[in-house]
Amino acid sequence: MDAHIQIKNLNAYYDDIQALKDVNIELPRKQITVIMGPSGCGKTTLLKTFNRFLELTDKTSITGEVLIDGQNIYERDIDVTEVRKRVGLLAQRPFPLPMSIYENVAYGMHIHRMKNNRNEYRKAVRHYLEVAGLYDEVKTRLTNPATSLSIGQQQRLCLARGLAVEPEIILGDEPTSALDPVSSQHIEGRLLGLKEQYTIVIVTHTLRQAKRLADYVIYMYMGEVVESGPAKEVFNNPKQERTRAYLEGQF
Ligand SMILES: Nc1ncnc2c1ncn2[C@@H]1O[C@H](COP(=O)(O)OP(=O)(O)O)[C@@H](O)[C@H]1O
Ligand SMILES: [Mg+2]
């Protein structure tokens, strides 16, 4: 496998509660990996170790390694801001910044001084709104506050904002769970379209969504990775009894 992310002997703790237990997995480049498993099994925790978001929560600690392109992102001299630029996170609910639609997308590009002039910023904002499938709905009101959008539109705006800083990896933590079915379909469609260019990792608790999106699957239970592998193999022929039980809906 051409692994983009490799996890070695990873343990994670909230104070003295262990949420991840000796996780060893590899995630393929430019495919969609879906992390699934029952509520509380550690999916969000695992995802947040991929861009060092976990340490934003108090009293968390980890041991082990997360390698992106072979480089451990927890090494001493790593620039955390750079890691989070390379590895973007689409949260469970959209959190637009308290500014206009336009500024939401331009914000990260400004911070990283990614463009040279206003015209370049304008072009890029339009481009990423198009990629996120939102441009036509907002092109006449780019200066309106982002909060004037529906939840589904806000989530696509957050996708555009995340893409604008040119990440290599997109993480999504149940990115459609707060959305209506049509908006969910929109986001799923975008993710499927983006996998040619990006490595995508999605947490979901719905098996149907996992089946629609996954090229590669990680099944977790109580802080452990029970099984991981190509989606076809895991769905059609799971190696572990616990995976089979989950797939058969025994949870
Ligand atoms: N901020 C926190 N403080 C203490 N325990 C937490 C915190 N967040 C999550 N946990 C615990 O860690 C475990 C894994 O949680 P999480 O990664 O959120 O699971 P999932 O996303 O699969 O539902 C759960 O037992 C949960 O109660
Ligand atoms: Mg979660």
d(CA 246, CA 164) in angstroms, rounded, equals 37
List % helix, strand, coil for the chain (3-state, nearest 5).
40, 25, 35
Sequence ranges of the domains in the chain:
3-247
Q: What is the pLDDT along the chain (251 residues), one digit of tens a residue?
A: 999 999 999 999 999 999 999 999 999 999 999 999 999 999 999 999 999 999 999 999 999 999 999 999 999 999 999 999 999 999 999 999 999 999 999 999 999 999 999 999 999 999 999 999 999 999 999 999 999 999 999 999 999 999 999 999 999 999 999 999 999 999 999 999 999 999 999 999 789 999 999 999 999 999 999 999 999 999 999 999 999 999 998 76
42 lines ligand 1 (CB under 6 A): yes
Given ligand 1 and candidates 45, 49, 54, which is best to mutate, with the most ligand atoms within 8 Å of its CB?
Answer: 45
44 Cα to the center of ligand 1, angstroms: 7
What does the pLDDT read at residue 251? 67
38 lines ligand 1 (CB under 6 A): no
Q: What is the pLDDT of residues 207-223, one digit of tens each?
A: 999 999 999 999 999 99
Which three-class secondary structure string do you get for 152-194? HHHHHHHHHHHHHCCCCEEEEECCCCCCCHHHHHHHHHHHHHH
Q: What is the pLDDT of residues 99-123, one digit of tens each?
A: 999 999 999 999 999 999 999 999 9
Nearest-atom number in ligand 1 for the CA of 48 is: 17
Among protein residues, the one whose CA lies closest to atom 27 of ligand 1 = 40
Are 144 and 101 in contact by the 8 Å Cβ rule? The answer is yes
Among protein residues, the one whose CA lies closest to atom 17 of ligand 1 = 42
Given ligand 1 and candidates 11, 14, 93, which is best to mutate, with the most ligand atoms within 8 Å of its CB?
Answer: 14
Nearest-atom number in ligand 1 for the CA of 41 is: 22
48 lines ligand 1 (CB under 6 A): no
42 Cα to the center of ligand 2, angstroms: 7
57 lines ligand 1 (CB under 6 A): yes
d(CA 89, CA 162) in angstroms, rounded, equals 7
Helix (H, G, I), strand (E, B) or coil at 59: coil
Q: How far is CA 102 from CA 29, 108, 112, 147, in A?
A: 31, 11, 16, 12
Helix (H, G, I), strand (E, B) or coil at 3: strand
What does the pLDDT read at residue 201? 98
**Edge-first strand listing for the sheet containing 224-230:** 87-90, 169-173, 199-203, 32-36, 216-221, 224-230
Total Cβ atoms within 10 A of residue 122: 14
Domain formed by 3-247, architecture: 3-Layer(aba) Sandwich (3.40)
61 lines ligand 1 (CB under 6 A): no
d(CA 48, CA 72) in angstroms, rounded, equals 15
Q: What is the pTM of this model?
A: 0.95
34 Cα to the center of ligand 2, angstroms: 13
Q: Which residue has the tokens 């608790």?
A: 205
Among protein residues, the one whose CA lies closest to atom 7 of ligand 1 = 14
Residue 89 identity (one-letter amino acid): L
Nearest-atom number in ligand 1 for the CA of 46 is: 17
167 lines ligand 1 (CB under 6 A): no
